[in-house]
Structure 1
């Protein structure tokens, strides 16, 4: 998913399960990828990738080329607040509930701040700052979360169909029929179970 005027941003990231299995999870949206840097707190899939400001800088570096690597402790704290609000809001929506009002306020607050402005390449002059701040990238994530959680987006937010998985994703498929968090993970396990059931 992307902001109407912004560039296409890559989505997805590698995770390692508790049994040591490495797998690729494409959440379908940058805001959800960001939420999953902390495992969305569900206990069964919890992983923490953000231990300090340098981790936040590294995560943004792979997704927002324009963003400076200088991240303050305050920005790191703000990022964790936004991440938690997005995580709780999309989890609520995936379960058919409304997001908590305080989480909505946090997302709206970040969405109201300046984001990374679009820029056309090929000119001879640089308009404004050459590097964006982390806060501007967080604004982009918050604006995407607004789109995800709005009326047009929320019907595509869902939990993985596997009974032992609660991972939430945004279904970008044209047919809107994605069922699994990852075919490498839950999709394959479901196929194996179905095959065993047929041959039993």
Structure 2
């Protein structure tokens, strides 16, 4: 796998999405190899570890579960230096030295190739680590956040242009808050009338 150094959004988004598959957030979302396959496909990932139609194994699922705890720890770091140190550890799991290659438009781009034969979780770690490092560099550590929804334990890296995202999963947590606020306004409106 070749990971673009300049396109940090893929890895940074993946960091939060993977951390939020934990049973402590919205319930276990990666219980089986099939669920892991769907997760990878949903993110458009084509990892070398599962090339040629090889499916993730139970061992891959266990290793990804361990990785998501580590990723969550990096997203929850208190300082920028801690985030950079954690991101560097992740990036180094399967990452080789950066290379400068032409992209499809013949422009020079930086890439980090992964080690041939690297396990699935190590390839994911490298992709996420590079994404987190890129997010710190481009956006700052203050974009590493916990979900603002009451009771939610989700985390995310806000890569939005305005930097005002507050929910780990806007369609779930944000919608839940909006519905609760709407019901409260209706209740107060009925009580006043």
Q: Which residue of 1 aligns with 2:63?
A: 78
User: Are 1:144 and 2:135 matched, yes or no?
Assistant: no
2:180 to 166, 189, 193: 189
- Cα deviation for residue 30 of structure 1 reads 1.4
Q: Secondary structure at the match of 1:179?
A: coil
Scaled by the length of structure 1, the TM-score of the pair is 0.58
Matched length: 167
Whether the 8 Å CA contact 1:162–1:190 is kept in 2: the answer is: no
Distance 1:162 1:7, change over 3 A: closer
The CA deviation string for residues 70-96 of structure 1, in whole angstroms up to 9 with x for no partner, is 234544333222111112332x34xxx
Question: Given the superposition, is the C-alpha separation of residues 173 and 148 from structure 1 closer, same or farther in structure 2, using an over 3 Å criterion?
Answer: closer
Q: Greater helix percent: which structure?
A: 2
* Residues 89 and 98, structure 1, Cα contact 8 Å, conserved in 2: no
State the TM-score, normalizing by the size of structure 2.
Answer: 0.60
RCO comparison, higher one (Cα < 8 Å, 6+): 2
Deviation at 1:49, TM superposition (A): 1.9
DSSP-derived class of the 2:72 partner? helix
The question of 1:171 aligning with 2:158 is answered yes
Q: 1:190 to 1:147 in 2, by over 3 A?
A: farther
CA drift at 1:158: 2.5
Deviation at 1:4, TM superposition (A): 4.0
1:114 matched to which residue of 2?
95
Aligned alpha-carbon RMSD (Å): 4.3
Instruction: List gaps (5 residues or longer) in structure 1.
Output: 12-27
The alignment status of 1:154 with 2:154, answered yes or no, reads: no
Residue 85 of structure 1 contacts residue 104 of structure 1 at CA under 8 Å; is this kept in 2? no
Where do residues 1-200 of structure 1 align in structure 2 (5 Å cutoff)? 4-6=5-7, 9=10, 29-39=13-23, 41=24, 45-67=25-47, 68=51, 69-70=53-54, 71-90=56-75, 92-93=76-77, 97-98=78-79, 107-112=87-92, 113-114=94-95, 120-121=103-104, 134=120, 135-148=122-135, 152-181=139-168, 182=170, 183-194=174-185, 196-197=187-188, 200=191
Shift of 1:33: 0.5
